[in-house]
């Protein structure tokens, strides 16, 4: 499935290049306008990232998110600065269907596994940003992709699966925001190794050919951010080229 994604700063729709707040693009549309347009085009899942909340959870854009998360035709997943159980509860109570957890899933896996057990696998999405080294190891940097966590992807996933993990949004950092295609081979490997995970491929989609290249990998969904915002193709076109859309 196609999953439109919107990043939010101070109520505005933005995109960051490879997670860098200094390389920000603003778009002249409101989040609600975009959401309504994507819903009319056939999207059934949508992804929001609160970048203000990512910097400071006390500055989470709750009033805006409240207008976006309760949607009659779409599953809504929200991320950005989830650091404690209260943050998870806050977003679920607000109306989000799924809460997206990023760096905390790497730094405090024991804690996050307890949330999977308590809230259920359908309520949690792990957002794991991967850096592939010269030896092919899939490492998981933190702190804005700068600090090496010393954790690799596969070793992290095994314990999470035992706790009930279902959804993983996985990004090859080198591809994020580039519109040059995704890491097809990485997703093929991950889907073969972990077939029970519903993988969301993220980063690099710039054309319909980039989407169709992912079909044989087995990913469950494709995150579409910049490509839709900049009109590289329409959401209807993207949905039409995906099997069983």
Alpha helices in the chain (DSSP H): 31-40, 51-55, 62-69, 85-94, 103-107, 109-119, 153-162, 184-193, 208-212, 226-229, 235-240
Secondary structure of 3-18 in HEC code, one letter for each residue = EEEEEEECCEEEEEEC
Q: Is 129 a catalytic residue?
A: yes
The string of DSSP letters for 71-103 reads: -SS-EEEEES---SHHHHHHHHHHT-SEEEE-H
On whether the CB atoms of residues 200 and 220 are closer than 8 A, the answer is yes
Q: What is the CA radius of gyration of the chain?
A: 17
Which of 129, 172, 176, 210 is catalytic? The answer is 129
Q: Tell me how far apart the alpha carbons of residues 119 and 133 are, in angstroms, rounded to a whole number.
A: 34
The tokens describing 234, both together, are 């329409």
Q: Tell me how far apart the alpha carbons of residues 26 and 176 are, in angstroms, rounded to a whole number.
A: 17
Cα 12 from chain centre: 18
**Strand pairing of 198-202 and 167-172?**
parallel
On whether the CB atoms of residues 161 and 113 are closer than 8 A, the answer is no
Known catalytic residues are 7, 129
């Amino acid at each position: 499935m196609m999953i439109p994604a919107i990043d939010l700063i101070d109520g505005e729709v933005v995109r960051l290049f490879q997670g860098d707040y200094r390389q920000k693009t603003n778009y002249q549309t409101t989040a609600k306008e975009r959401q309504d347009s994507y819903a009319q085009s056939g999207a059934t899942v949508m992804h929001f990232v609160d970048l203000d909340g990512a910097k400071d959870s006390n500055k989470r854009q709750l009033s805006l998110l409240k207008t976006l998360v309760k949607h009659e035709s779409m599953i809504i997943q929200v991320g950005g600065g989830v650091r404690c159980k209260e943050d998870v509860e806050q977003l679920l109570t607000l109306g989000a269907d799924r809460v997206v957890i990023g760096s905390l899933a790497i730094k405090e896996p024991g804690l996050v596994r307890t949330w999977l057990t308590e809230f259920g696998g359908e309520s949690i999405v792990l957002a794991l940003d991967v850096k592939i080294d010269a030896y092919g190891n899939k490492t998981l940097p933190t702190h804005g992709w700068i600090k090496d966590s010393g954790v690799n992807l596969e070793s992290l996933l095994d314990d999470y699966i035992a706790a009930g993990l279902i959804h993983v949004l996985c990004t090859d950092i080198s591809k994020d925001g580039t519109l040059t295609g995704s890491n097809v081979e990485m997703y093929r490997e991950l889907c073969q190794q972990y077939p029970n995970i519903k993988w969301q491929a993220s980063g690099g989609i710039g054309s319909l050919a980039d989407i169709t290249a992912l079909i044989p990998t087995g990913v469950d969904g494709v995150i579409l951010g910049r490509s839709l915002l900049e009109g590289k193709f329409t959401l209807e076109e993207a949905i039409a080229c995906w099997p069983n859309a």
